[in-house]
């Protein structure tokens, strides 16, 4: 991964650009990275604040083969890669299913996987990774100050974005390529389970327009959340957008 890196000073969204390139036949492994995004995308249609020079805003183009991961699985692989990379610098990395990486209960990074085609038969997937690296507390929007953090806040000093970016890509490549033999995938999901703040907690999700409550009990091999409802029924949820928090 990363043999071709396309760098922008400023772009609306690296995910949008990477999808456009993927549509035009850009090969697997190309990375779109930007110093700032003017229309950074978050999950569930939210925006993602991407200030200049302060974070890692990048998207990786993948072209999974058919026996390879579904979109939720790719998201878990990316979460694990970011988590492992961050753990070289901070303790207490946590993963909140499906796509948040937290440190000390505050969000430091988010993953947004977008794909073509169906969830299990993707032609390409774009894995968008945003990591807050060098923001100070006052750089966060007031409503995020308590909920979000950066590597600088957690370690007390500015960190190299390039170095962290390389560590993340190495971890991602290891898990994704090994994923061909399922091992990397399994390891990534095990990592996400071991660091999960979601498992064992009450969650609710929408089913046929109704809110269903339950307890998160596992992450399945496809990256879905396994939820047990109070009457003992087991549900597999594949997308966080159905989770009501």
Smallest gap from residue 233 Cβ to ligand BTN (A): 29
Pick out the residues of the known binding site: 13-15, 37, 107
- DSSP 8-state code for residue 173: H
Q: Give the whole-angstrom CA distance, residue 114 versus residue 135.
A: 26
Smallest gap from residue 43 Cβ to ligand BTN (A): 4
**Nearer CB in complex with ligand BTN: 161/212:** 161
Q: Give the whole-angstrom CA distance, residue 151 versus residue 78.
A: 18
Smallest gap from residue 91 Cβ to ligand BTN (A): 22
Burial 136-162 (b: 16+ CB within 10 A, else e): eeebbeeeeeeebbbbbbbeeeebebe
Smallest gap from residue 208 Cβ to ligand BTN (A): 26
Smallest gap from residue 115 Cβ to ligand BTN (A): 14
**Nearer CB in complex with ligand BTN: 139/212:** 139
Strand partners, 121: 118
Whether residue 200 has a cis bond before it, omega within 30° of 0: no
Tokens read off for 202: 């009450």
Q: What residue number has its CB nearest to ligand BTN?
A: 110
Tokens read off for 84: 């492992």
**Nearer CB in complex with ligand BTN: 111/122:** 111
**Nearer CB in complex with ligand BTN: 112/175:** 112
- Tell me which residue of 125, 133, 146, 14 sits closest to 69, measured CA to CA: 125
Pick out the residues of the known binding site for biotin: 13-15, 37, 107
Tokens read off for 150: 């950066």
**Nearer CB in complex with ligand BTN: 15/196:** 15
**Nearer CB in complex with ligand BTN: 43/216:** 43
Q: Give the whole-angstrom CA distance, residue 230 versus residue 242.
A: 18
Q: Give the whole-angstrom CA distance, residue 100 versus residue 94.
A: 8
Backbone angles phi, psi at 209, to 5 degrees: 80, 0
Which parts of this chain interact with ligand BTN (CB under 6 A)? Answer: 13-15, 37, 40-43, 46, 48, 50, 57-59, 99-100, 110-112, 128-130
Smallest gap from residue 228 Cβ to ligand BTN (A): 26
């Amino acid at each position: 991964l990363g043999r071709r890196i396309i760098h922008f000073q400023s772009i609306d969204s690296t995910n949008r650009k990477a999808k456009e390139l993927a549509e035009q036949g850009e090969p697997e492994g190309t990375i779109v990275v930007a110093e700032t995004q003017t229309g950074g995308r978050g999950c569930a249609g939210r925006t993602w604040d991407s200030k200049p020079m302060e974070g890692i805003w990048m998207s990786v183009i993948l072209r999974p083969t058919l026996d390879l991961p579904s979109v939720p699985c790719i998201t878990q692989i990316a979460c694990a890669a970011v988590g492992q990379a961050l753990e070289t610098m901070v303790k207490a990395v946590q993963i909140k299913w499906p796509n948040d990486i937290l440190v000390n209960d505050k969000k430091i990074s988010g993953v947004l996987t977008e794909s073509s085609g169906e969830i299990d038969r993707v032609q390409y997937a774009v894995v968008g990774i945003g990591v807050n690296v060098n923001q100070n507390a006052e750089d966060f929007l007031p409503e995020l100050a308590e909920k979000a953090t950066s590597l600088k806040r957690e370690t007390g000093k500015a960190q190299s974005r390039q170095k962290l970016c390389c560590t993340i890509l190495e971890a991602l490549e290891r898990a994704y390529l090994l994923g061909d033999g399922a091992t990397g995938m399994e390891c990534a999901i095990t990592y996400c389970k071991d660091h999960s703040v979601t498992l064992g907690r009450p969650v609710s999700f929408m089913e046929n327009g109704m809110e269903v409550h339950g307890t998160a009990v596992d992450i399945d091999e496809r990256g879905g959340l396994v939820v047990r409802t109070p009457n003992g029924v087991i549900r597999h949820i594949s997308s966080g957008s159905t989770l009501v928090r």
